[in-house]
Amino acid sequence: MAQHEQQWTAVDEYLDAALVGQDAALTAALEVSARQGLPEIAVTATQGKLLHLLALTVGARRILEVGSLGGYSAIWLARALPADGRLISLEISPAHAAVARANLHEAGLEKVAEVRTGRAADSLAELVDDGAEPFDLVFIDADKPSNPEYVAWALKLTRPGSLIIVDNVVRGGQVADAQSTDPSVLGVRRMHELIAAEPRMEATAVQTVGAKGYDGFTLIRVTG
């Protein structure tokens, strides 16, 4: 690990200890996910708490997550919901979905959180077809080539004032390379083009460094 990456990790560890603290359910979720062989790509604790605070700030009653993995970010988000709130998390892998369900159950959140298995695009279309009540916050952290499609569906499933957060949009700086042929980079760039051309959205993006390396997220507010 390069020296600057060691420093990023050390700062993350300090911030975790100073502002986040230990949490048995969240720690257990990461441990279970690791034992089940899930990739270690969940958000960091500080990022998870940011999602939690954003959900609280908008007073979210309904949250949609695209990409469950082991349920770590879903726990952060579901904890921001009121007792009658609802989180729906979409996951393509049945094995990952099973881990996420188990972790949400162990965190005592099974009554407010649901994990649906299948292609996210199909699940999103079903939500639209079913006339789902608008979501107050959408967190997108799945396959990056599909980001434009996910954001387009999210716009159909939200309301003015809702937030849409898309993770891993900087791709280690590669997003700035207009000549890139990487499908994930191309997906992120097409997503940003879609957002810029959509009058019903306003957005910004923030670069981040930390224990998971150099990346960033896009924050979108639905305006109409």
Which residues form the domain of 76?
Answer: 3-222
Indicate the pairing of strand 135-140 with strand 62-66.
parallel
CATH (domain of 137): 3.40.50.150
pLDDT over 70 percentage in the chain: 100
What's the domain count of the chain? 1
**What pLDDT, in 10s, does the model give residues 177-222?**
999 999 999 999 999 999 999 999 999 999 999 999 999 999 999 9
Q: What is the pLDDT of residue 132?
A: 96
Whole-angstrom CA distances from 146 to 79, 191, 224 are 27, 9, 23
Residue 1 has pLDDT above 80, yes or no: no
pTM value?
Answer: 0.96
List, for residues 31-41, the tens digit of each pLDDT value.
999 999 999 99
**CA-to-CA distance for 34 and 213, rounded, in angstroms?**
19
